[in-house]
Structure 1
Amino acid sequence: MRIGAHVERADPLADAAARQAEVVQFFLTDPQGWEDPKPRADAEALRTAEVDIVIHAPYRINVATLNNRVRIPSRKLLLAHANGAAAVNALGLVVHGGHVNQGDDLAAGFENWRKTFAYAADQGGFPLPVLIENTAGGDNACARSLDALARLWDVVGPLGAGFCLDTCHAHAGGEALLDLVDRVKAITGRIDLVHANGSRDPFDSRRDRHDNLTQGQLDPELVVAVVRAAQAPVVVETPGGEAGQAADIAFLRTQLAG
């Protein structure tokens, strides 16, 4: 089981070394922007690195929405970032599950996910696994509750979608972590990546605010249990920079070894 961290995109391999990380996740562009990724000067070093690479798609991507001005560019941007991720030999591309607007039919959001995979297939297909991540808030979210996730997976599961399980998002979204891995795998059949994060806020708060693993309002033993059960690569997206993330990585390794 390999453990690492989300870092800045400027020099991810140096940041991984500083944290003693075996996995490194980063954005290829401004996470709040709409830019296509450009070739990286360190692409060859990333492709041949001993650490595993994961790319996170921009936050603005929402392929589920019925708003054409967001959905259509989101499809294009998701594919562009998938190609950028493949160029650095990433394990996968993480993207949030998205949502529809209040009053819209959630079923249309699931259908828009199907159309996203169809769009990619028309362009030659996604070149690496797209890892849909559970989210913390929103009654109209496609991947917050396990009930919604089951409806989404009926659509995208046969198309090869992967899954990223975020512990903070699950806790804040109202899904208890106890036996969560078994409940998720009963739906998806897979967990490709774990985002091991503490939470600043209480259970079912619908607030996505990460904390370090031994801080906040999420029992770190439950996070460790999720990591142990998932048997997938792990990324901490926790605050505190190098010191905070290195401590969280060391904590997980110590707990798992015990």
Structure 2
Amino acid sequence: MRIGAHVRLDGDPIGYGERLGADLIQMFVIDPQGWEKPAAHPKTAEILASPVDVVVHSSYQINVASTNNRLRMPSRQAVAQQAKAAADLGAFGLVVHGGHVRNDSEIDAGIDNWRKLFERQAEKGGFPVPILIENTAGGDHAMARYFDSIAKLWDAVGEFGAGFCLDTCHAWAAGEDLVGIVDRIKAITGRIDLVHLNSSRDEFNSARDRHANLSDGTIDPELLAEVCRTADAPIILETPAEGLADDIAYLRDAVN
């Protein structure tokens, strides 16, 4: 099992990962609040040469489900650009949040917009790395908060090879039981490509996305370890930095 973390020192991502003893790292290729086109990373050669695996998280503003052209169109372009930058770093995928629409009447359109992302890119030869759709914590009109919503989304995009990223804090906040969650999501998607293994600062079904270290959060650490054991996927911790090394050590002991 490969266990790693999201890096907070993007100028030296491999060095940060090595200091944590991580098997893999997750990183951004632009400011996560920005829209700029990714530039070549100054340590591309080191990243490509390292045995530490890499996955890229897309910027946060991306919302390919949106029915607002001024948000959806740049979101599509950003996914394509950041997927290319991820491929240039040898990453095994690009994580993209499911996004949301403004009301229930737009949900079908939001799902269709996700399908169009893949259809239009397929006409250009497809994405150079898998797009890993991540479940989200809140939003009544979210594409990937509830598992029944994810099922509708997967009916539209699954044939294009979309991957899935399971975030435990997001599922907990969304009101989805973590007991048996791996089997439940695999019954929908057929796959889990990555786990964001996070505890939560808030109670179950809070709709609040606030991560906590495994020893400090409201989710039983053993339940989180069981997700790791059963998911058969790489694990990325996005927990607070001060307890990150302890979280990695706990997981290594708990799953072996």
Q: Give 2:187's aligned residue.
A: 186
Q: Give 2:3's aligned residue.
A: 3
**Structure 2: distance between partners of 1:78 and 1:133:** 14
**Structure 1: distance between partners of 2:64 and 2:124:** 16
Q: CA deviation at 1:211?
A: 0.3
**Structure 2: distance between partners of 1:59 and 1:254:** 33
Question: Which 10-residue stretch deviates more, 49-58 or 37-46?
Answer: 37-46
Matched, 1:233 2:241: no
Counterparts of 1:64-213 in structure 2, within 5 Å, are: 64-213=65-214
Q: Give 1:244's aligned residue.
A: 243
**Structure 2: distance between partners of 1:52 and 1:81:** 17
Q: Give 2:223's aligned residue.
A: 222
Task: Report Cα offsets for 1:147-179 as digits up to 9, x if no partner.
Answer: 000000001110110000000000001101000
Task: Report Cα offsets for 1:101-134 as digits up to 9, x if no partner.
Answer: 1354211111000111122123321001100000
TM-score by length of 1: 0.97
SS in 1 for 2:82: helix
Residues 103 and 142 of structure 1: CA distance in aligned 2, closer, same or farther (over 3 Å): closer
**Structure 2: distance between partners of 1:82 and 1:70:** 18
Q: Give 2:36's aligned residue.
A: 35
**Can you give the 5+ residue segments of structure 1 that lack an aligned partner in the other structure?**
none
- Letter in structure 2 aligned against 1:256: V
TM-score by length of 2: 0.98
SS in 2 for 1:94: strand
- Letter in structure 2 aligned against 1:96: H
- Letter in structure 1 aligned against 2:170: H
**Structure 1: distance between partners of 2:148 and 2:19:** 40
Q: Aligned Cα RMSD in Å?
A: 0.9
Q: How much identity, in percent, do the aligned residues show?
A: 55
**Structure 1: distance between partners of 2:106 and 2:63:** 15
SS in 2 for 1:53: strand
Question: Which 10-residue stretch deviates more, 42-51 or 191-200?
Answer: 42-51
**Structure 1: distance between partners of 2:130 and 2:50:** 19
SS in 1 for 2:227: helix
Do the aligned partners of 1:75 and 1:119 also contact (CA within 8 Å) in 2?
Answer: no
Dislocated runs of 4+, deviation >4 Å: none
Q: Give 2:24's aligned residue.
A: 23
- Letter in structure 2 aligned against 1:7: V
Do the aligned partners of 2:67 and 2:106 also contact (CA within 8 Å) in 1?
Answer: no
**Structure 2: distance between partners of 1:118 and 1:256:** 39
Matched, 1:254 2:253: yes
**Structure 2: distance between partners of 1:121 and 1:39:** 24
Task: Report Cα offsets for 1:1-52 as digits up to 9, x if no partner.
Answer: 1000001211100100111000100101110111111011211211121011
SS in 2 for 1:249: helix
Do the aligned partners of 2:58 and 2:94 also contact (CA within 8 Å) in 1?
Answer: yes
